[in-house]
């Protein structure tokens, strides 16, 4: 009985030992992967911060203004003048409504077989 127990214990020991080692190596592996990832994220965050800073510089009015000034002539642009601003009151009035009564009589006469244009043409001597 004791012999059997010993054998079981020895096998269990060997198994557990190899299990623990496997676990240790896999953990070390994961840890180094993690470290590499952290380093990668760190460097990418660094790059990102630089890119964001670049973007902020490019967006500054103080950066854009000189570019505009440089191309003022070529693009024919200038700061807006007060006179260039419009107002709703300055818009022209809506054109007068079409004379619908006259149109109605025209269509009625056309339906009745009288073409006023024809009459004009005849008057002019054009057939």
Partner 1 sequence: MAVTAEDFGPTISLEGARKARGNLTQARIRWMVLALVLGFGLVGARLIQLGMVVPDSTIEGQARDVITATRPPILDRNGLEMAVDIRVPSLFAEPRRIIDVEEAVRKLRTVLPDLDEAWLRTRLTGDKGFVWVQRELSPTIQDRVMRLGIPGIDFITESKRFYPGMTEASHILGSTNIDNQGIAGIERHMDNEDVALLQELGLARGNALAPVELSVDMRVQHIMHEQLVDALTRYQAIAAAGVMMDVRTGEIIALASLPDFNPNEPATALVKDSFNRITSGIFEPGSIFKTVTMAASLDSGAVTINDDFDARFGVRFGRYTIDDYKGKHRVLSLPEVFKYSSNIGTIRIMQAMGKDNYRAFLTRMGFDQRVPFELPEMRLPSIPKEMSEVSAATASFGHGLSVSPLHMVTAYAAFVNGGNYIAPTLYRRDLAEAQALYQPVIKPSTSADIRYLLRLNAIEGGATQMNKLSLGYRAGGKTGTAEKVVDGAYSSAKNTNFFGSVFPMDNPHYAMIIMVDEPKAENMQSGVTAAWNAGQVSGRIIQRVAPMLGIAPDFAEVLDQNLTPPELR
Binding site residues, partner 1, CB under 8 A: 2, 5, 9, 12, 42, 45-46, 49-50, 52-53, 56-57, 59-62, 65, 79-80, 82-83, 85, 87
Residue 58 or 103 having the CB closest to partner 1: 58
Q: Which residues of 74-101 are buried (b: 16+ CB within 10 A; e: fewer)?
A: eeeeeeeeeeeeeeeeeeeeeeeeeeee
Q: How far is the CB of 36 from partner 1 (least distance, A)?
A: 15
Longest CA–CA separation in the chain, Å = 138
Burial of 106: CB neighbours in 10 Å, binned 0-12, 13-18, 19+? middle
Contacts of 121 (CB under 8 A, 6+ apart): 127
Residue 9 or 114 having the CB closest to partner 1: 9
Residue 88 or 107 having the CB closest to partner 1: 88
Q: How far is the CB of 73 from partner 1 (least distance, A)?
A: 19
Q: How far is the CB of 114 from partner 1 (least distance, A)?
A: 55
Residue 6 or 109 having the CB closest to partner 1: 6
């Amino acid at each position: 009985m004791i012999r059997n127990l010993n054998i079981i214990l020895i096998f269990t020991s060997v198994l557990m030992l190899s299990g623990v080692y496997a676990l240790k190596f896999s953990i070390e592996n994961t840890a180094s992967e993690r470290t590499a990832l952290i380093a990668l994220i760190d460097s990418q965050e660094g790059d990102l911060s630089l890119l964001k800073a670049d973007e902020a510089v490019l967006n500054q009015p103080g950066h854009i203004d000189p570019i505009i000034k440089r191309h003022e002539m070529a693009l024919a642009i200038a700061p807006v003048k007060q006179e260039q601003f419009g107002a709703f009151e300055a818009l022209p009035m809506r054109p007068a409504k079409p004379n619908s009564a006259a149109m109605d009589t025209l269509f009625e006469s056309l339906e009745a077989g009288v073409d006023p244009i024809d009459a004009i043409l005849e008057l002019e001597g054009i057939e």
